[in-house]
Amino acid sequence: MQPTLEPGTILGRYRVIGSLGRGGMGGVVEVEDASGARFAVKSPIADTSGTGDITARFAREANALRLLDHPNLVGAVDVFVEGGVLFLVMEKASGVTLGQRIRDHGALAPRQALVFAHQLLDGVGHAHAVGLVHRDLKPDNVILQPMGGWERIKIIDFGLVKLMGDAAAAFGANALTSTGLVFGTPAYMAPEQALGRVVDGRADVYAAGVILF
């Protein structure tokens, strides 16, 4: 049975503050440690498929985030197991999503859009350099983090990450990706991704271009 994620409960060495949301691969709660520092903790949804794919993909995301060290990417802080469930502790990126900003206020001014696009591509470039393809870049996976007079973007949700090169060799994750299966958000997919073909970092660059548009 998965440990409770209700506010006030203790999870590992963290106290649960409240829910931050739920995605297709798992739920996210806000926690704090003994020093009062706040983090986001993600756990996988119950895997009822019988194949173990959800659990395996979650473990792959945890391994992938531990490779990231870039100001425009949310990386892993800690990984632990409790009650037989893997929990991923991440930096808590405060702010609204780019998607919410656009829904609330419409298209960004060109200069601001270019600033965000530059940061987005910097983060994506780092991910590709360590062997990670996000595969689900979209405005709702980009947090606008207030930085005192300006905003820094943070790319979140590597739940559909594909590992390449040394990262794939280290974690043996390629078996989870099969040609013919489509992963991602249709409006932001590169053509080859929408067709279920093998993708590489260029699919993320295409999605970044759609976001800029």
pTM for the predicted model, two decimal places: 0.84
CA distance 161 to 158: 5
Q: Which CATH topology does 10-91 take?
A: Phosphorylase Kinase; domain 1 (3.30.200)
Residues of the chain with CATH 3.30.200.20: 10-91
The radius of gyration computed from the CA coordinates of the chain, to the nearest angstrom, equals: 17
pLDDT tops 50 at residue 51: yes
Question: Does residue 10 surpass a pLDDT of 70?
Answer: yes
User: Given 33, 69, 122, 136, which residue is catalytic?
Assistant: 136
Q: What is the pLDDT of residue 159?
A: 83
Known catalytic membership, residue 136: yes
Q: Is 171 exposed, middle or buried (0-12, 13-18, 19+ CB in 10 A)?
A: middle
Q: Say if residue 152's pLDDT is above 90.
A: yes
Assign 170 a pLDDT band (cuts: 50, 70, 90): confident
Mean pLDDT computed over 147-171: 88
Mean residue pLDDT of the chain comes to 86
* Residue 178 binned pLDDT confidence (cut-offs 50, 70, 90): very low
Lookup: tokens for 153: 């973007």
pLDDT (tens digit, 9 = 90+) per residue, 72-125? 999 888 888 888 888 889 998 889 999 999 999 999 999 999 999 999 999 999
Position 14 scores a pLDDT of 93
User: What residue spans in the chain does CATH classification 1.10.510.10 cover?
Assistant: 96-212
The CATH number given to 96-212 is 1.10.510.10
